[in-house]
Structure 1
Amino acid sequence: MQDTTTHPKILLGQFINGEIVVVDGKQQPIINPSTGKISKFVEHANTTTINKALEDAHEAYLSWSKVPPTKRARVLFKFKVLVEENREKLAELIGQEHGKISHDALGEIQRGIENIEYACGAPELLKGDFSKDVGPAIDSWSDFQPLGVVSGITPFNFPAMVPLWMFPIAIACGNSFVLKPSEKVPSASLFMAELLKQAGLPDGVFTVLNGGKEVVDQLIQHKKVKAISFVGSTQIAKYIYQESAKYGKRCQALGGAKNHAILLPDADVDNAVSQLIGAAFGSSGERCMALSVVVAVGDAVANQLINKLKDAMADLKVGEYSNDENHFGPVISKEHKDKINDYIQSAENEGANIIVDGRNVIVKNNEDGHYVGGTLIDNVKTDMLSYQDEIFGPVLQVLRVETMQQAIELINEHKYGNGTCIFTRDGEAARYFTDNIEVGMVGINVPLPVPVSSQSFGGWKSSLFGDLAMYGPDGFRFFTRRKTVTQRWPSSNVRENIKFSMPTL
């Protein structure tokens, strides 16, 4: 039973037209996963509140879209400075609601700051193309104009970074932005809203609406919302993409992942082990880029890998977010903890070998926290449930194959195609891998190949629904629409004949 005795009661509302709004609606408890106890409550936005917020956002867009990109960028630059100055407080909010260790939360915030920096380049990145004399006295040019009110629906695992993938670019492009964060971790979004206001962003340009599916559906169905950006599970990503298309919305929806690493016999195994430990267990494995499967080519390197991983994992420290000596913290909820443990059990039932078992971890003084220790499973097969599904927890599985080609085929056959990596010293093998792997983000001796802010983030297959990836150049294309103008100023003393054929040069 959850502890409901927290005093005084902290109630979070919505951020609408520059202020926090509470309307005495449905409330949901926010659980601190480190302790398993209620820390706050969040109010769900009702239909009246949502409609009012979207009308305000539309009114704000009408004037914000007319602000020159340089002035928009100045607001974002001030926002960047404020985020940097308040990063410790933001990390604390993330830790309280997500359970992420402070050093990991600060890393998340830094990656978000890099996306603000990229968005500050809007004056250059929004420049269109110009072609003079495409025909007799005819010029043609294109520019990129904002869409209107756009929305982002973000997951629990990155309360700051994923919203920062979206709204700085959307705002830089001249849109107003409505953020629907996970109801499990709303505080970071509300805090960033306050920082945007301090930076000088006009009221209504940025809105935060809290709630569940009912809020998502209203955003998709509302006529004022022109685009939906989403990060979460594949099941929900597919639903949002299909529903958005039904209502004529532009949509990018990032889904789940099952990220593989190939370990070749020539690899530096010690280095690979160090990289794998962080990539598999950082943030409790609750990353869409978590490296959760190693495909070892040959039993010799597989045995070496298992032994070294087992030894390295003995030193892993799991505990509360506020202790920087811990390597990772709890998972988001008791339900998710139970789900991860069920996947571990299913692997064992289906014949895999549990080398390091992270179940039944107890953290002193936080016995009700949602903890799962680092888990290592060997001899996993492709037909096992734990392999087919995204576990989204601190579980690393090892498969064994005989050749690199078998490893590539195994990865290409999986329904997800988000991220992958190869560990090798062989440049020819690495080049072959990058050319033939059917995955959107690829690392060479880099286990978490998350693109920098000037690139774009997105997988293939069931990991991404939509034509454009997140942030970077694709972000600017997603949050704008191209307009092409062709003009001619005919001579006043020349009378042209009527032409019925298709114009040509």
Structure 2
Amino acid sequence: MSEHIIEHWVNNAPFSGTSSATADVTNPATGAISGRVRLASDADAHAVIATAKKAAPGWAALSLAKRTQIVFRFRQLLDERKADLGAIITSEHGKVLDDAIGEVSRGLEVVDFACGIAHLIKGEFSEQVSTGIDVHSKRQPLGVVGIISPFNFPAMVPMWFFPIAIAAGNAVVLKPSEKDPSAALWMADLWREAGLPDGVFTVLQGNKVAVDALLDSPDVASISFVGSTPIARYVYERASLAGKRVQALGGAKNHMVVLPDANLDLTADSIVNAAFGSAGERCMAISVLVAVGPVIDELLPRIQSRVGTLRVGDGTLGCNMGPVVTREHRDKIVSYIDGGVSAGAKIVIDGREIKVADRPDGFWVGPTVFDHVTTDMEIYTDEIFGPVLSVVRVDTYEEAVELVNSSPYGNGVALFTGSGGAARRFENEVQVGMIGINVPVPVPTAYYSFGGWKDSLFGDTHAHGMEGVRFFTRAKVITSRWLDPSTSPSPELQLAFPTND
């Protein structure tokens, strides 16, 4: 049987490029190699970018009505076939099937939002701002935009960006993670079926060579990135030096603060869902439980009982939690658990030795809970990106807020309480970009914008919502004078700075 090669996508068709370099793509539940993905050379990357550059002017010139029709057709096809895309995500990422389909559904919300692009990019008009002078504004596309997406959401994260970018009239070059690259090709083929012209949506497979080509190319106007904080900082600095717009969303260490008046059953359900969904491989996963006062004594047994009901296994077989994405990532997570034990944290639930009988070669780490974690331990300071929950005990609300605000990250935070006053105070005092009140994973709907503060975001613009629309367009303001043909203007020379009158 021939080897399955996962190609680039250029001009609405697979493209091999010139590089013979490839990387293994594995099924995390079995450990088996399912294919090999192309790794672009610098020449390959520039060929893909050149294709997008050629397509951009024609796409931008197309009427809003025609662009919207294609975006809406893509939305219809995606909604009809999202289970197919979910299955591809599960096979390469490992998350359970209903979670993968949920990811697609959340991405679909941004496509819904982009279908309203005619309203979203409307300009403004002011008549007679000065005698005989009108002013109006318009928003126009940037040209070619680059998207560099992470492994944990191979469909949703690209869809935070490309529906708005395409609807606004840009051409897109998407660089997916080499760990799970097939979802990008599936979506590219769906755009082809929806009627998108050649070159408007391209896929560049690869590693750092492909990333650097996008960051450096003078033909790429902007970069949208999601990933770890060190790489986000690198992307932001290098692309900014190249004169690009950049939105680089970095890492997180998301806290859940639980006050003594919280509903403990709701809280226990929420913390298990938020900490262990997708095996903790979410930038919005709750990885720190901040328990105020004695509430942890009643809450922890509830968490243990719920974790005990979870079934870890192959995501296609109706399990609650799947494997992590690669063997190397599993080993890294296990090393953090080892380090937490060595540092003196109390391990309440240990996921290191979990076995899945029918999938012995999968990349398994079970739900893990540490108690009595201190803020100097690596399991607290580092983004582990796995199913590891740290419990930090504090005495007061004020200590909890200070702990959250002391983190270098400011992505997401949740507060569980029965007090409206405490919730309102928390909203104002906590220094985090996305806040949930009795909601554990506060991912905004598509018409709001996604993004954090501090080391969780580099650049000033968040993803999707109106910030996304503004990011993928640039404004022009036009001041115009049209003489009334029924009157003859008197000659006038005026060298002073013009004023409105």
TM-score, structure 2 length as denominator? Answer: 0.98
The answer to whether 1:456 aligns with 2:449 is yes
Please give the per-residue CA displacement for 1:455-503, whole angstroms capped at 9, x wherever unaligned. 0100000001011100111110000001110111245612343222222
Which of 279, 291, 301 is the matching residue for 2:295?
301
Cα distance in 1, alignment partners of residues 491 and 41 from structure 2: 61
Residue type matched to 2:357 in 1?
A: K
In structure 1, C-alpha distance between the alignment counterparts of 2:339 and 2:47, rounded to whole Å: 48
Aligned to 1:25: 20
The match for 1:328 is 321
SS at match of 1:73: helix
Partner of residue 3, structure 1? none
1:395 Cα deviation from its structure 2 partner: 0.9
Q: Within the alignment, does 1:211 sit opposite 2:201 as a pair?
A: no
State the match for 1:373 in structure 2: 366
Q: Secondary structure at the match of 1:396?
A: strand
Of the structure 1 ranges 104-113 and 342-351, higher mean CA displacement relative to structure 2 is found in: 342-351
Q: Answer yes or no: is 1:500 the counterpart of 2:490.
A: no
* 1:295 counterpart SS class: strand
The residue number in structure 1 matching 2:181 is 186
1:467 equivalenced with 2:460 (yes/no):
yes
Q: Distance in 2 between matches of 1:51 and 1:269?
A: 55
1:173 aligns with one of 162, 168, 181? 168
Matched ranges for 1:68-79 at <5 A: 68-79=63-74
Q: Tell me if structure 2 keeps the 8 A contact 1:70–1:122.
A: no
Distance across 2 between alignment mates of 1:28 and 1:383: 37
Partner of 1:386: 379
Measure, in 1, the Cα distance between the counterparts of 2:108 and 2:413: 25
The CA distance in 2 between the partners of 1:348 and 1:131, in whole Å, is 66
**Structure 1 position 81, deviation (Å):** 1.1
Q: Unaligned regions of 5+ residues in structure 1, if any?
A: 1-6
| Within-5 A mapping of 1:46-445 | 46-298=41-293, 300-324=294-318, 326-445=319-438
User: In the aligned structure 2, how far is the partner of 1:73 from the partner of 1:489?
Assistant: 33
* Post-superposition offset of 1:359: 0.5
Q: Tell me the amino acid that sits aligned with residue 402 of structure 2.
A: E
Distance in 2, Cα, partners of 1:53 & 1:271: 49
Distance 1:315 1:198 in 2: 43
Q: Does 1:480 align with 2:473?
A: yes
Please give the secondary structure, in 2, of the residue aligned with 1:140: strand
One-letter amino acid of the structure 1 residue matched with residue 33 of structure 2? I
Render the CA deviation track for 1:359-415: whole Å, top value 9, x for unaligned. 111111211111100011101111111101111101111111111011001100100
Which letter maps to 1:343? Y
Hey, what's the Cα distance between the residues in 1 that align with 2:228 and 2:157? 14
CA distance in 2: counterparts of 1:452 and 1:480, whole angstroms: 21
Deviates more, 1:282-291 or 1:64-73: 64-73
Deviation at 1:92, TM superposition (A): 1.1
Q: How far does the alpha carbon of each residue in 1:150-200 deviate from its partner, in whole angstroms, 9 at most, with x for none?
A: 010000000110111111100001000000000111100001000000000
TM-score, normalised via structure 1 length: 0.97
SS of the residue 1:184 aligns to: coil
Please identify, of 491-500 and 164-173, the stretch whose mean Cα deviation from structure 2 is larger.
Answer: 491-500
1:65 is paired with a residue whose SS is helix
Unaligned stretches of 5+ residues in structure 2: none
CA drift at 1:8: 3.4
1:17–1:53 CA contact under 8 A, matched in 2: no
Q: Partner of 2:265: helix, strand, or coil?
A: helix
Following superposition, which runs of at least 4 residues in structure 1 exceed 6 angstroms of deviation? Answer: none
Q: Which amino acid is 1:40 matched to? A: G
| Distance in 2 of aligned mates of 1:430 and 1:81 | 39
**Residue aligned with 1:162, SS:** helix
Corresponding position of 1:4:
none
| Residue 15 (structure 1) aligned with residue 9 (structure 2) | yes
Q: How many Å apart are 1:83 and its aligned residue?
A: 1.0
SS at match of 1:8: coil
Once the two structures are TM-superposed, the CA of residue 22 in structure 1 deviates from its matched residue by 1.5
| Cα separation, 1, equivalents of 2:155 and 2:290 | 32
| Aligned equivalents of 2:87, 2:426: Cα separation in 1 | 40
Give the count of matched residue pairs. Answer: 497
* More divergent stretch after superposition (85-94 vs 279-288): 85-94
Amino acid at match of 2:14: I
Write the distance in 1 (CA, Å) between the matches of 2:88 and 2:360.
Answer: 22
